[in-house]
């Protein structure tokens, strides 16, 4: 459960990998947390999907390849 502000909202897909609630809406935050506490199946499913998403989006091989591409472009540009 996260708010719609900051980096976490970019990773969490509302209703799929977690819940995104409006900023400054404590009632929505509590409702989302209680809903997850009351439903172990949805917790497991969202957790599984979130783990898959993180593994896909932030795999170390992909990250280093993107980083190599960025640093290579920076070196070429400054040369």
Domains of the chain, residue spans: 2-78
Which residues are paired to 3 by β-bridges?
Answer: 21
Q: What is the pTM of this model?
A: 0.71
Whole-angstrom distance, CA of residue 13 vs CA of residue 70: 27
- For residue 9, what are its two tokens? 């909202």
- Return the DSSP state at 5: S
As a dihedral over the C-alpha atoms of residue 64, residue 68, residue 71, residue 76, rounded to 10 degrees, the angle is: -170
Whole-angstrom distance, CA of residue 48 vs CA of residue 70: 31
- Assigned fold of 2-78: Rossmann fold (3.40.50)
Residue 75 pLDDT greater than 60, yes or no: no
Q: pLDDT per residue over 23-70, tens digit each?
A: 999 999 999 999 999 999 999 999 999 999 988 887 888 778 878 888
């Amino acid at each position: 459960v996260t708010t719609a502000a900051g980096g976490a909202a970019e990773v969490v897909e509302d209703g799929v990998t977690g819940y995104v609630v409006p900023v400054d809406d404590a009632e929505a935050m509590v409702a989302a947390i209680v809903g997850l506490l009351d439903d172990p199946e949805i917790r497991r499913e969202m957790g599984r999907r979130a783990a898959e998403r993180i593994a896909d989006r932030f795999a170390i091989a992909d990250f280093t390849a993107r980083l190599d591409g960025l640093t290579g472009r920076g070196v070429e540009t400054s040369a």
